[in-house]
């Protein structure tokens, strides 16, 4: 990364979901190194270990609930006075044949990955639209692009995330805003 790109992120306010997970922790750490102030959100109480006075505030809640998304955006505004970046990273994986996937498993994966992403985008967009700036990164998966055997619910949820992202890119984001899907490969 160049010094210019580092400076571009300085003092930006980012909300990162799934911050207690493997990728989420790395994202929080990289953003902190670049001078961002961060709201780190996760359903795991261990997210609180990321707290850093004046730089990282933690929100512990289930992102399937509307209130959790509202609380996370409010935390950014209350503690840091802005919300510049949303990284929808939280997600659940399921490797299970179609025949063995229960409706409860389907609902859990879709609610976490697709509904959770939608709720956080919507709440963030309220702030970003008003301020006419902001960036949203929705973490998808190659499974949502090509479909992978044994991942019917996961692939559907990640496909939904890609389409959510595309629909915002083409319509309702303010002029100075952007959104993009990301497909991590570890």
Q: Does 95 bind ligand NAD (CB under 6 A)?
A: no
Which of the residues 36, 140, 154, 181 is marked catalytic? 154
| 115 lies in the site for ligand NAD, by CB under 6 A | no
Structure tokens, 50: 């990321």
- What's the token pair of residue 98? 């179609």
- Determine if 125 is a binding residue for ligand NAD (CB under 6 A): no
Per CB under 6 A, 64 contacts ligand NAD:
yes
Any catalytic annotation for residue 154? yes
Of the two residues 37 and 115, which places its CB atom closer to ligand NAD in the complex? 115
Q: Which of 42, 2, 16, 10 is nearest to 136 (CA)?
A: 16
Q: Under the criterion CB under 6 A, does residue 62 sit at the interface with ligand NAD?
A: yes
C-alpha 173/C-alpha 160 separation (Å) is 18
Q: How many residues in the shown chain lie near ligand NAD by CB under 6 A? A: 22
Window 1-40: contact mask with ligand NAD (x via CB under 6 A): -----------------x-xxxxx----------------
Q: Do 124 and 41 touch, CB atoms closer than 8 A?
A: no
Query: 11, 30, 147, 177: which is closest to 89 by C-alpha?
Result: 30
Q: Give the contact letters, 126-165, x = binds to ligand NAD (CB under 6 A), - = no.
A: -------------x-x------------------------
Please return the burial class of 166, using the count of CB atoms within 10 Å of its CB with bins 0-12, 13-18 and 19+: middle
């Amino acid at each position: 990364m160049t010094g210019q790109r580092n400076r571009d992120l300085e003092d930006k306010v980012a909300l990162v979901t799934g911050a207690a997970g493997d990728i989420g922790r790395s994202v929080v750490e990289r953003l902190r190194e670049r001078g961002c102030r961060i709201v780190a959100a996760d359903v795991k109480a261990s997210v609180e270990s990321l707290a850093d006075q004046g730089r990282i505030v933690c929100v512990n809640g289930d992102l399937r609930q509307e209130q959790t998304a509202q609380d996370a955006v409010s935390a950014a505004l209350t503690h840091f006075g802005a919300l510049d970046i949303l990284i929808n990273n939280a997600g659940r994986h399921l490797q299970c044949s179609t025949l063995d996937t229960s409706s409860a498993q389907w609902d859990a994966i879709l609610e976490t990955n697709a509904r959770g992403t939608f709720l956080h985008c919507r709440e963030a967009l309220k702030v970003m639209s008003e301020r006419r700036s902001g960036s949203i990164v929705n973490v998808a998966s190659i499974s949502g692009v090509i479909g992978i055997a044994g991942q019917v619910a996961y692939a559907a949820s990640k496909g939904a995330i890609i389409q959510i992202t595309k629909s915002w890119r083409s319509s309702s984001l303010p002029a100075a805003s952007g959104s993009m899907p990301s497909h991590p490969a570890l």
